[in-house]
Each structure stands twice: as C-alpha cells, then as structure tokens.
Amino acid sequence: MKKNKMLMLVLSLLLVCGMFIGCGQKQQSTNTNDTDKKTLLIYCAAGVNKPMEGIAKEFEKKYGVKVQYTYANSSELISQMEVSKKGDLCVLASKEDYETANKKGLVLDRKDLVYHVPVIAVPKGNPAGIKTLNDFTKPGVKVILGDSKTSPLGKLASKLFQKQAIESQVKNNVVSTVTTVNEMVTFVSMKKADASIMWEDNALNASKSIDLVQIPKDQNLIKTVPIAALKSSKDKELCNKFISFALSDQAKSIFIKYNLKPIK
C-alpha cells in the first residue's frame, strides 16, 4: 500500500511539473513571436502623412510588418537621419530633397511615387479675391508661407515669387511662416491668412474650409515625391518589399483617394 501511495505521489508531482513546463514553453513561444515581429522605421514628409498611413495599414495586413513613421518637413527629416544614423526608408517632398540626402550619403536609389502640385490656397469663399500669384502683393493681403530656410514649400514659394519678380513685395505681406504644410492648412482654415502656397492634395483634403486657385503650368514648379531605402537599414530586402508595395496599384488607389496623382 505504501509503495502504491508513493508511486501515485511521484506520478502526481511529475504531472504538475509537466504542466508548469508546458505553460512556460507556451508563454516563451508567445513572447518570442511578439519580439520577432519586424518593424520598419520610415521618415516621412508631413504633407503626405494620410496616404502613407493608409499604405502602412495595408502593408501590415499583407506582410505582418509594423510600420512606424516619423513626420516633419524634409529638411528636419534629413537632419534626423544624419544624426541618428537609424531608420529604414524615407519619403521626402521632392527630388531636390532626395538629392540633398544623397549628397550626405544617407540614401540608396530612389523611386518616384506621386506628383506634388503647388497651388494658391485661400479661406473658403476667397474673401481677399486672390486669383494670381501677383495678388500676393496687394496692399492689406495677409500671407502665410512655409519657412524659406527650412520648409520645402517655403523654398518653393520663394522660387515661384522670384520667377514672377515679386518676392520682395510679397515679403511685406507675410504675417507668419511655419515649417509644415499642416500648419498652413490650419492657419488658412481659421482665416488667419488670406493666401498661402501649399500642395494641391492638402488643399483638396481640407476643402470644407479652404478653396484653391490653380497656378498656370508655365508659372508653376511641379514636384515629385520620392521614396528611397536608407543606407542605415539592416533589412534592405524588406525595404524593397515596402517600396514595391508603395508603387503597386493598391497603393496608387490610396494616393488617388487623398487627391494625389500617382506617377505611371
């Protein structure tokens, strides 16, 4: 009897130990899966944040890869990439920004995603009656622009006004400068400015509070938005997979939804 009791006790102890070991292995396996989930860090121009977020969601659904964005204007993004020496990809506001990053040895070959078309943005109803770039010089017109030293849109606006030989007159009407297009949208929507230069898609996406005036092609400076893998990335294959997805028909439909024109 004593032997049978001892045998039962030993078997019970073995069973309990086995259960704990099994639970531990299961927990360890779950933790390993969470840890092993891949992540892409992408530096992204603030002006295209909405479509890129949509593309990230679809990419994660398809490949199980988490996409983490950091948003700013292109000049700030390039500085971040240069200082941190971390990250996988960048989506910048123009080819010129890509060339700046390339000269600093930060990026690999680029692919072009969409056209970025500058327009004149005005509050709903266009209370100041802005019809052309020259109207930015009219007395009393309140102008808000991107910062000409740090903002790609600010630099672009400066070139547009130089092209018309009106930059100095426009400066007299500038009430504020900002670093991102999203700030410009907010200021114009709140009627704190009569006119601004911003991307067409941003103006269209805020169409409830903003009207836009097209700039004639011969006066305009249309840009393209590039994407490129960073030299700092440790997973170039995954970077290329994301680039291919960003160029796919599925991604193009997302860009179109947000009023951007994909490059064929």
Q: Report the number of distinct structural domains present in the chain.
A: 2
Sorted by sequence, the CB contacts under 8 Å of residue 37 that are 6+ apart come out as: 64, 65, 66
| Upper half-sphere CA count for residue 108 (Cβ side, 13 Å) | 16
Q: What is the mean pLDDT of the chain?
A: 88
Q: Are residues 101 and 45 in the same domain?
A: yes
Q: Are 149 and 143 in contact (CB under 8 A)?
A: no
Q: Which sign, positive or negative, has the C-alpha torsion 111, 113, 115, 118?
A: negative
Binding site per annotation, positions: 74, 181
Task: Specify if 2 maps to a domain.
Answer: no
Q: Are residues 158 and 133 in the same domain?
A: yes
| Upper half-sphere CA count for residue 248 (Cβ side, 13 Å) | 14
Angle at 110 between CA 262 and CA 78, to 5 degrees: 105
% pLDDT > 70, the chain: 86
Q: Are residues 145 and 193 in the same domain?
A: yes
Which range marks the domain in which residue 211 is found? 118-219
Q: Are residues 103 and 45 in the same domain?
A: yes
142 or 35, higher pLDDT = 142
Task: Specify if 9 maps to a domain.
Answer: no
Task: Specify if 256 maps to a domain.
Answer: yes
Distance CA(13)–CA(23), nearest Å, equals 16
Tell me the three state secondary structure of residue 42.
Answer: strand
Q: Are residues 249 and 187 in the same domain?
A: no
CATH number at residue 112: 3.40.190.10
Task: Specify if 8 maps to a domain.
Answer: no
Q: Are residues 232 and 199 in the same domain?
A: no
Binding site per annotation, positions for molybdate: 74, 181
Q: What is the pLDDT of residue 168?
A: 95
pLDDT per position as a tens digit, 83-122: 999 999 999 999 999 999 999 999 999 999 999 999 999 9
Q: Are residues 184 and 254 in the same domain?
A: no
Task: Specify if 127 maps to a domain.
Answer: yes
Q: Are residues 205 and 178 in the same domain?
A: yes
79 C-beta neighbours (distance < 10 Å), count: 13
Give the residue-averaged pLDDT of 231-249. Answer: 97
Task: Specify if 126 maps to a domain.
Answer: yes
Q: Are residues 123 and 84 in the same domain?
A: no
Q: Are residues 112 and 231 in the same domain?
A: yes
Task: Specify if 146 maps to a domain.
Answer: yes
Q: pLDDT band for position 36 (50/70/90)?
A: low
Q: Are residues 214 and 229 in the same domain?
A: no
Task: Specify if 27 maps to a domain.
Answer: no
Q: Are residues 198 and 235 in the same domain?
A: no
